[in-house]
Chain A
């Protein structure tokens, strides 16, 4: 009788533990899934930023912006001065 009671108690504990761990695992899985999606989204964002960076760093764009914003221009041959070392 005593042994049966102990075994019954162990059974209850094991059952509760199983339920609890299943719940925890599901939570962790949901979290992992969420984080994986976030990683994917961040990767996508990084890709878009890289494309933007590549289009903004084109030499024509830089020259255009230098001309418009900084009033810079490519010097003519007459204006070029070569320094001989």
Chain B
């Protein structure tokens, strides 16, 4: 018989159960409460971030990289849209049972392969694996070609747009402009130097998205991208191309290893042209080869005879000689401190002013003996040797002038004609701005700015005038070392340099560097140009005048013409009618 519990008994039992249930419930609430506190207090930030990420999507907005322009606004570098053509192998189908449709598909495939510059065999190979959904068929396709490809309307073929740096001028300006890497960051030249300004700032947009991660609108936050700034260089593209072409001609004619040229505006110190040959194609930066450096600023060489005018200027400034002082250069050989100093020809007794014209090492050494090492070295530094030009070009070196206290007597003599020291081509060009600017050294620049440039007085006006006339005699057909540098209708001045290359601790016998630094027109110098040709074939001529003189002449004639420089080398044929002139002063 079942015993029926009394009401009291029932509740007594129930109370025990109730307690258990109560404790369990309390325990559960405690756990929930603890979890709530944990989430609210300790994981609040993390959870809120996750929530935002699920509801919002942040997109980077990329800025346009700035353009690089020449002084006249011609384009040197620009970011252009290019396309990658992609294929979804699971969708692309060039097969059909109907022979008419099959013929059409074959034609379509042929056209696609042609536009992609692939053979149909290679195209088939690419599309063979049907599991591949995103096959890149070709990168860097032009917008025109992309339009033609998309017009074929082949299902499974799509395009992706990316921006690529394009350098329309290619080789002549490659060393100056440089290039960017595949990540769009400047790797060389101006692209590297001005990367921050050119790159701009990324923007950001945050969109609200649905559960399928589709953008449903409502821009939550926005930061507009800041496009990169355009950089205007001081380079004149016309002169840059003229310099490059003249340089190429000279390097090829003399079978030299390479050549460099720098053209400066003597009045402002702006670099109008700076080029090297051989050059490279910046549009294919993975194939730049060995000639990637801007050798005009990164490579040093012994300046040789181009130093003679500076040594002589030091002597004239110290008033230890005058331009008419006679120097005995003997029979072309001079033994000094146990070492032999040579001239290419015996000049005998010559005036100081002819030392530059015939480029006498002995004359230069004898004149410099009258100047103390301290003064000579100080003059070289005043002309900018051993100091960076301030152009701030990546990889620029300062060259070196040894401390005069470490000079032996022979070092003093050798320094006077440019041995035992080194400089870059751009330093050499800058040094000659002194002769073009009434004795003032011009600070040089490559980026167009309107800021004030302060020149440094280095020589007196009298010495500069004397030096200019001496430098003009170098281009004389009658005994000068650079008659080939002459420019029709204009008076030009300059100095040649021919130095032996210093390789593995000694001077190579048949390896030379030929240089010419010139300026013009002499009556009011506007341009300074320095040219260097490295290791020409000796049989084809190796002197600075032969190698670099014609380059100077070609480029200067263009510069005078394009900048409408008044001709100062014309001689009036008809003295009665002073309105017309036809011939130049000295026939070429």
- A residues near B (Cβ < 8 Å) are 25-26, 28-30, 32, 43-44, 47-48, 50-51, 53-55, 57, 59, 77-78, 80-84
Contacts and interface: CB of A to CB of B under 8 A. Distances in A.
A82 B168 contact: no
Q: Chain A interface mostly helix, strand, loop or mixed?
A: helix
B39 to A, nearest CB: 29
B488 A77 contact: yes
Nearest to B207: A29
A77 B489 CA distance: 10
Interface string B556-588: 000000000001001010000011111000000
A43 B64 contact: yes
Interface in B57-108: 64, 67, 74-75, 78-81
A48 B580 contact: no
A59 B238 contact: yes
B216 A26 contact: yes
A44 B168 CA distance: 16
Contacts of A57: 74
Contacts of A28: 217
B80 A84 contact: no
Given A25-B217, A44-B143, A82-B567, A54 B168 contact: yes
A54 B75 contact: yes
A76 B168 CA distance: 32
B74 A54 contact: yes
A29 B219 contact: yes
A32 to B, nearest CB: 8
A80 B489 CA distance: 11
B581 A51 contact: no
A29 B217 contact: yes
Q: Pick the most buried of A43, A51, A84: most chain B CB atoms within 10 A of its CB.
A: A84
B78 A25 contact: no
B143 A51 contact: no
Contact of A30 (B168, B217, B580): B217
B218 interface: yes
Interface string B322-362: 00000000000000000000000000000000000000000
Interface of B: 64, 67, 74-75, 78-81, 143, 166, 168, 215-219, 238, 241, 488-489, 567, 570, 572, 578-582
Given A81-B582, A82-B570, A48 B238 contact: no
Nearest to B227: A43
A64 B580 CA distance: 30
Contacts of B238: 59
Contacts of A29: 215, 217-219
Contacts of A30: 217
A71 to B, nearest CB: 21
B218 A51 contact: no
Contacts of B79: 47
Contacts of A26: 216-218
Contacts of A59: 238, 241
Contact of A51 (B168, B215, B219, B579): B168
B166 A84 contact: no
A47 B78 contact: yes
A83 B218 contact: no
Q: Pick the most buried of B74, B217, B488, B580: most chain A CB atoms within 10 A of its CB.
A: B217
Contacts of B582: 78, 80-82
Contacts of B567: 82
Contacts of B570: 82, 84
Nearest to A78: B582
A32 B570 CA distance: 66
Contacts of B215: 29
Nearest to A59: B238
A54 B238 CA distance: 12
